Amino acid sequence: MNYLLTNQQTERLWFREVQAEDYPGWLKFFEDPRTQQHWQGVFGTPEEECTRWYESQYARYREDRGGMNALIKKDTGELIGHAGLLVQQVDGVEELEVAYSLLPEFWHQGFATEAARKCKAYAFEQAFAESLISIITISNLPSQQVARRNGMEIEKQTVYKNNPVYIFRIFKPIIR
């Protein structure tokens, strides 16, 4: 199944596959200490983390495990972040996650909510899953607000990649 939202659009955003040319723009994400504040762990240099992130996305693409899409701001053509559908293992169960990350200068402008809503709508339209999750660290209140605006509710608290997280979930609406 191809979970990517390639060429999908919202009012302000265009989704496309991640490209190597995006690396310099996305490196800024890892250079800003605010982007790592909610995840515990040992982090390498910004360059190492950005390279690892890109390798992970390309592996997801090859292995058909979804992946992040580059979010391009339509009016300027600039990369503002990533969002997508990710096949994840949570507590031994395979789940489909709505995931989103933005460059800090684009926080608090509604872009994450716009992208998350598109990911949810696309997943349900394509009948990829009966429910979707978002995995959000307990301290990341802004991302939790995005999940709530996307119609999700906290289902449980668990540990994911050695971090305490909430699992937010939404079920596909039943159409009668």
pLDDT at 38: 67
Distance CA 146, CA 72 (A): 19
Distance CA 150, CA 125 (A): 15
Query: For residue 59, with 0-12 CB atoms within 10 Å meaning exposed, 13-18 middle and 19 or more buried, which class applies?
Result: exposed
Task: Please report the pLDDT score of residue 128 as a whole number.
Answer: 97
Identity (one letter) of the amino acid at 137? T
The two structure tokens encoding residue 18: 């991640």
Domain boundaries, the chain: 13-171
Give the per-residue pLDDT at 94.
97
The whole-angstrom separation of Cα 59 and Cα 127 is: 23
Per-residue pLDDT of the chain (176 residues; tens, 9 = 90+): 799 999 999 999 999 999 999 999 999 998 887 877 666 665 788 899 999 999 999 999 999 999 999 999 999 999 999 999 999 999 999 999 999 999 999 999 999 999 999 999 999 999 999 999 999 999 999 999 999 999 999 999 999 988 999 999 999 988 77
Q: Checking DSSP bridges between strand 13-17 and strand 66-73, what pairing results, if any? A: antiparallel
What pLDDT does 123 receive? Answer: 98
CATH code, 13-171: 3.40.630.30
The long-range contacts involving 43-51, CB below 8 angstroms and separated by at least 24 positions, are 50/23, 50/26
pTM of the model: 0.93
Place of tokens 């709530």: 148
pLDDT at 1: 78
Type of residue numbered 51: T
